[in-house]
């Protein structure tokens, strides 16, 4: 094996800086949906679909959130690797997936169900639990956990 110059390759650096603010503990799907709704800029929740991930510690306190993607009126992309990149970077033990339905419908689509299952299964191997997937509208929400779909 030939000797490699360690300076030939770039160094991978991971960092996360927590804001010095009060940490909120999520105790219900309603509380989570209210927090999620607050992440959308005013007037944007009905504009286009956006996906967020809420990262939690072992006490279900919010470590941080990640705006994963914004799409069109009827969908957005979800890269499972990016979901877990944030979870690993923040040392999360749990997370909540969340997105809006600009149409106002609270029905989970087959794509919503499929990505929820995929992320839940991926999380099991990393010991990172998907606690819920919440669909929000301007004034209501749908919780996969409340409907026993997790």
Residue 112's CATH number: 3.40.140.10
Give the integer Cα–Cα distance in Å for 100 and 98. Answer: 7
Closest CA to 35 of 105, 103, 132: 132
Query: Which residue ranges in the chain fall short of pLDDT 70?
Result: 1-23
In the structure encoding, which two tokens stand for residue 135, read together?
């669909």
Number of domains in the chain: 1
SS3 state at 66: strand
Residue 120 lies in a domain: yes
List the 94-100 sheet strands across, edge first: 62-70, 50-56, 94-100, 129-136, 141-143
pLDDT of residue 26: 94
Range of the domain at 116: 22-143
pLDDT digits (tens, 9 = 90+) for 15-46: 556 665 556 899 999 999 999 999 888 877 87
Residue 20: predicted pLDDT: 55
pLDDT of residue 6: 56
How far, in Å, are 16, 26, 38, 78 from residue 20 at the CA level? 13, 18, 19, 29
Q: What phi-psi label fits residue 43: left (phi over 0), alpha (psi between -120 and 50 degrees) or beta? A: left
User: Is the residue at 15 inside a domain?
Assistant: no
Q: Looking at the domain assignment, is residue 14 inside a domain?
A: no
* Contact by Cβ (8 Å): 143, 99: no
* pTM (predicted TM-score): 0.84
How far is the C-alpha of 16 from the C-alpha of 96, rounded, in Å? 19
């Amino acid at each position: 094996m030939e000797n490699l110059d360690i300076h030939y390759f770039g160094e991978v650096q991971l960092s996360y800086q927590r804001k010095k603010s009060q940490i909120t503990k999520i105790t219900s799907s309603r509380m989570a949906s209210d927090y999620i709704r607050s992440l959308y800029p005013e007037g944007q929740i009905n504009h286009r679909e956006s996906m967020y991930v809420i990262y939690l510690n072992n006490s279900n306190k919010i470590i941080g959130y990640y705006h994963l993607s914004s799409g069109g009126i009827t969908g957005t992309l979800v890269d499972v690797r990016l979901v877990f990149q944030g979870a690993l970077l923040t040392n999360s033990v749990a997370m909540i997936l969340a997105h809006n339905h600009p149409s106002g419908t609270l029905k989970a689509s087959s794509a919503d169900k499929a990505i929820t299952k995929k992320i839940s299964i991926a999380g099991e191997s990393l010991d990172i639990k998907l606690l819920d997937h919440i669909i929000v509208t301007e004034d209501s929400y749908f919780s996969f956990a409340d409907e026993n779909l997790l």
